[in-house]
């Protein structure tokens, strides 16, 4: 065996063995938040890359790691959707899915011509020759790694969103394989793709790594997608002879990556954030590949349709952009009536989306919220009571003027209008229009909200648009571009200067508050690392929840209004999470402002005999009466309305506990038998 052969063999063995060993360690150490979580991150990264390899093989093209992983995530979401619709996406099937991805990953390690470790070794001499560039990229990668570690280590979710809804949805999925929560507003607000992804992070046996999937895995995928966009310019093995324009200058690429790694985190919970950005960036890049004459168009449009549908499953507000972008790209093709491409896109999209629709319908009697309200309470406003067109215009302007976290979006808007995309399908033009229309629809439909929330919701497509404009717009550098130049996007020199200036300004703006961010991140890391050395838990809260649940007969239905319902065993009882009180409930609708007897009769009419709730004065967050009493009068409209429902709800539950048999009460947590008088 020659030395290079031996190195190659060793590289393949290492690449195959590391994820397998990580899987063993992560599953064997569920209480180790940092090291166990990091090991599981390696497993999940390899698994989605494995799924991506399956897609690659089917298309017959080899793409960069970022795009491969994003394609893999799309395939995973497609498969997970089918299991979710069947109600069997529980822990064991999830682990089987992870293992299947790992098997595909291992298969690739022995198929690939040049193992990734060998490629990395070969790149080392070139990196040494350019120490300044290398140092810059080491810095960027270093910050990225710290951010990833921070996301692995962070254990505090948002008590309003994560503790009450998102984490319980993950727990429900792992326990039962379904997401049937007809009383949950947060369930009705998304098809469940994000929950299916988050469940991957918890499948090793702990819910502690809340941000493992979104903040670590998909954050990494976004960075790899950006690097791939800048470096490879959509080079495919099948069409390797002709790249789609020059590689973006490395310094500029470094700046873009620096901007992204330094972005302030505007995410406030474990809802879709980086997952959305990754899928939209991958969707864009896949549409770009379809621009090329020699690409396998039909199969690529299958991937386009599947990725668009996968993005739809993450958040309802992704739907408009995810549908409009492929539609516009297809319409902009010279052979717009090529039925094969339309059929491929629509069929793949439907195949991914249909199972999520089935699951959503079973849970909330709607597959198109908010257009079809399902179990949502129509009396809950999403728009202000009164809003004049002038006020709405003012609201639009306020939102546009205060973008977050990419604060230079406004400066770049004119550059977007100057950009000329001559590629088939006009990917950048189509994406820009789709984003603008989708964002306008979001703002219009949610004027009761605020600009920070709206930019957070739109992060999934706003960040990719920014990245694409910068990376593709700067591909020719600052040189004059002639008509013959194979550049992806033509922007006048002044526009490209504006982009560079915007990048630098964004870095300066992001610098504010960094010290505090990283001080907190350091504290998170220390705490998470300590979990491995001291695995013992007090379990007081867990035991209280367990005892409460054990006071109800196994198999009985329980409606719960508790602060941490993820501590319940969803497999033992049919649990209905009441989530944000009054926002959603099956017909004829949970009665509010009508007293306790009406509520008891309603629950019993739904086949729910037991009610578990936390008293308003004992609640740690979601059901605190004093907080909601204040918000009923002094907050914005949506929270004034929610306050009224919550105060009525907790008062009604307390009244029920006074007249019905109480089976358990401790620390303000109560289990009531609605069918038995006191």
Partner 1 sequence: MTRALAAALCLAAIGCGHDRAIDDAIRARERFVRELAAREGLVDVWSLSSRSDLEFADGLGPIELLDPDVPFTGWDEVAHRCESTPALPVRWMGPRAHLRLRGDRDGDRRLEIRGRVDVKAIQTQPIVTASIDGREFHSGAVDAEGYFLISAAIPAAWVAEWADVYVTLSSVHEPYKDPEGRAAAKLTVARLEGVIWEPRGP
Q: Which residues bind partner 1 (CB under 8 A)?
A: 378-379, 381, 383-389, 391-393, 437, 440, 444, 447, 592-594, 626, 629-630, 632-634, 637, 640-641, 644-645, 647-648
Identify which of 59, 97, 468 has the alpha carbon closest to the alpha carbon of residue 303: 59
Nearer to partner 1, 125 or 334 (CB): 334
- Smallest gap, in angstroms, from Cβ of residue 308 to partner 1? 21
Is the CB of residue 583 less than 8 Å from the CB of residue 376?
yes
Residue 118 tokens, joined? 């060998």
Residue 525 tokens, joined? 């890391």
- Smallest gap, in angstroms, from Cβ of residue 491 to partner 1? 20
Cβ-proximal residues to 32 (8 Å cutoff; 6+ apart), any chain = 531, 532, 535
**DSSP 8-state code for residue 403:** -
Residue 672 tokens, joined? 């009531």
**DSSP 8-state code for residue 678:** -
- Smallest gap, in angstroms, from Cβ of residue 429 to partner 1? 10
- Smallest gap, in angstroms, from Cβ of residue 385 to partner 1? 5
Nearer to partner 1, 124 or 394 (CB): 394
Nearer to partner 1, 2 or 388 (CB): 388
- Smallest gap, in angstroms, from Cβ of residue 639 to partner 1? 11
Is the CB of residue 643 less than 8 Å from the CB of residue 635?
yes
**DSSP 8-state code for residue 267:** -
Nearer to partner 1, 579 or 648 (CB): 648
Could you tell me how far CA 493 lies from the centroid of its own chain?
36
Identify which of 233, 317, 173, 128 has the alpha carbon closest to the alpha carbon of residue 489: 233
Nearer to partner 1, 236 or 430 (CB): 430
- Smallest gap, in angstroms, from Cβ of residue 647 to partner 1? 6
**Exposure letters 72-103 (e unless 16+ CB within 10 A, then b):** bbbbbbbbbbbbbbeeebbbebbbebbebbbe
H or E stretch including 179? none
- Smallest gap, in angstroms, from Cβ of residue 312 to partner 1? 22
Nearer to partner 1, 120 or 387 (CB): 387
Nearer to partner 1, 126 or 444 (CB): 444
- Smallest gap, in angstroms, from Cβ of residue 328 to partner 1? 11
**Helix (H, G, I), strand (E, B), or coil: what is residue 369?**
coil
Nearer to partner 1, 47 or 646 (CB): 646
Nearer to partner 1, 8 or 392 (CB): 392
Could you tell me how far CA 296 lies from the centroid of its own chain?
29
- Smallest gap, in angstroms, from Cβ of residue 271 to partner 1? 26
Beta bridge partners of 561: 613
Q: CA-to-CA distance for 241 and 298, rounded, in angstroms?
A: 21
- Smallest gap, in angstroms, from Cβ of residue 386 to partner 1? 5
- Smallest gap, in angstroms, from Cβ of residue 597 to partner 1? 16
- Smallest gap, in angstroms, from Cβ of residue 382 to partner 1? 10
Beta bridge partners of 201: none
In 141-261, where do the E strands start and end?
none
Is the CB of residue 201 less than 8 Å from the CB of residue 73?
no
Q: CA-to-CA distance for 317 and 272, rounded, in angstroms?
A: 11
Nearer to partner 1, 379 or 485 (CB): 379
Nearer to partner 1, 79 or 644 (CB): 644
Nearer to partner 1, 350 or 629 (CB): 629
- Smallest gap, in angstroms, from Cβ of residue 640 to partner 1? 7
Residue 644 tokens, joined? 């009224």
C-alpha R_g of the chain? 26
- Pairing verdict, β 660-666 and 669-677: antiparallel
Using alpha carbons, list the distances in angstroms from residue 49 to 68, 71, 206, 300.
Answer: 6, 8, 23, 18
CA angle 467, 521, 468 (to 5 degrees): 5
Nearer to partner 1, 239 or 433 (CB): 433
- Smallest gap, in angstroms, from Cβ of residue 592 to partner 1? 7
Residue 99 tokens, joined? 């293992």
The gap between the terminal CA atoms of the chain, to the nearest Å, is 82
Nearer to partner 1, 208 or 581 (CB): 581
Q: What is the DSSP string of 593-616?
A: SS-HHHHHHHHHHTT--EEEEE-T
């Amino acid at each position: 065996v020659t030395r290079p052969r031996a190195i190659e063999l060793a590289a393949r063995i290492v690449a195959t063995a590391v994820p397998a060993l990580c899987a063993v360690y992560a599953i064997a150490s569920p209480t180790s938040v940092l090291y166990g979580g990091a090991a599981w991150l390696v497993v999940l990264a390899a698994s989605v890359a494995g799924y991506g390899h399956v897609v690659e093989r089917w298309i017959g093209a080899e793409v960069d790691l970022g795009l491969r992983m994003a394609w893999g995530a799309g395939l995973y979401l497609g498969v997970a959707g089918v299991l979710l619709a069947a109600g069997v996406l529980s822990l064991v099937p999830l682990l089987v899915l992870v293992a299947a991805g790992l098997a595909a990953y291992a298969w690739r390690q022995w198929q690939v011509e040049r193992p990734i470790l060998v490629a990395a070794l070969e790149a080392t001499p070139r990196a040494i020759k350019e120490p300044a560039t290398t140092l810059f990229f080491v810095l960027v990668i270093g910050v990225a790694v710290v951010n990833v570690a921070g996301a692995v280590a962070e254990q505090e979710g948002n008590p309003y969103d994560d503790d009450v809804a998102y984490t319980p949805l993950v727990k429900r999925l792992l326990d039962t394989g379904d997401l049937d929560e007809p009383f949950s507003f947060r369930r009705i607000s998304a098809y469940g793709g994000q929950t299916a992804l988050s469940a991957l992070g918890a499948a090793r046996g702990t819910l502690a790594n809340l941000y493992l999937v979104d903040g670590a895995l998909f954050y990494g995928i976004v960075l790899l997608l950006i690097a791939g966009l800048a470096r490879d310019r959509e080079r495919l093995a099948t069409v390797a002879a002709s790249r789609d324009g020059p590689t973006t200058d490395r310094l500029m690429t470094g700046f873009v990556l620096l901007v992204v790694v330094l972005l302030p985190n505007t995410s406030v919970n474990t809802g879709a954030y980086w997952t959305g950005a990754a899928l939209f960036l991958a969707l864009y890049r896949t549409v770009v590949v379809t621009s090329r004459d020699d690409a396998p168009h039909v199969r690529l449009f299958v991937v386009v349709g599947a990725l668009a549908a996968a993005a739809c499953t993450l958040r309802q507000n992704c739907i408009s952009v995810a549908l409009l972008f492929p539609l516009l790209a297809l319409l902009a093709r010279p052979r717009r009536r090529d039925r094969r491409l339309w059929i491929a896109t629509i069929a793949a999209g439907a195949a991914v989306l249909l199972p999520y629709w089935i699951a959503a319908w079973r849970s909330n009697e709607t597959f198109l919220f908010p257009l079809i309200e399902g179990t949502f309470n129509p009396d809950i406003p999403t728009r202000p009571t009164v809003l004049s067109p002038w006020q709405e215009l003012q609201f639009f302007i306020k939102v546009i003027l205060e973008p977050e976290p990419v604060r230079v979006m406004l400066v770049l808007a004119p550059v977007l209008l100057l950009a000329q995309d001559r590629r088939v399908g006009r990917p950048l033009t189509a994406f820009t229009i789709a984003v603008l229309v989708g964002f306008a629809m979001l703002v219009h439909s949610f004027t009761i909200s605020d600009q920070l929330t709206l930019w957070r919701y739109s992060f999934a497509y706003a960040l990719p648009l920014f990245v694409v404009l910068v990376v593709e717009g700067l591909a020719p550098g600052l040189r004059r571009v002639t008509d013959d130049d194979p550049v992806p996007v033509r922007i006048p020199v002044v526009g490209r200067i504006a982009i560079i200036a915007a990048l630098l300004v964004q870095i300066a703006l992001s610098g504010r508050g960094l010290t505090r961010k990283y001080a907190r991140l350091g504290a998170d890391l220390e705490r998470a690392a300590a979990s491995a050395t001291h695995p013992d838990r007090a379990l007081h809260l867990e035991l209280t929840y367990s005892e409460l649940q054990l006071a109800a007969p196994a198999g009985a239905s329980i409606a719960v209004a508790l602060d941490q319902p993820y501590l319940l065993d969803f497999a033992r009882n049919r649990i209905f999470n009441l989530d944000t009180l009054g926002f959603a409930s099956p017909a004829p609708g949970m009665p509010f402002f009508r007293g306790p007897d009406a509520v008891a009769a309603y629950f019993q009419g739904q086949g729910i005999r037991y009610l578990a709730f936390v008293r308003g004065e004992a609640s740690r967050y979601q059901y605190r009466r004093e907080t909601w009493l204040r918000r009923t009068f002094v907050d914005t409209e949506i929270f004034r309305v929610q306050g009224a429902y919550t105060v009525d709800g907790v008062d009604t539950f307390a009244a029920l506990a006074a007249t019905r048999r109480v089976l358990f009460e401790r620390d303000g947590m109560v289990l009531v038998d609605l069918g038995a008088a006191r």
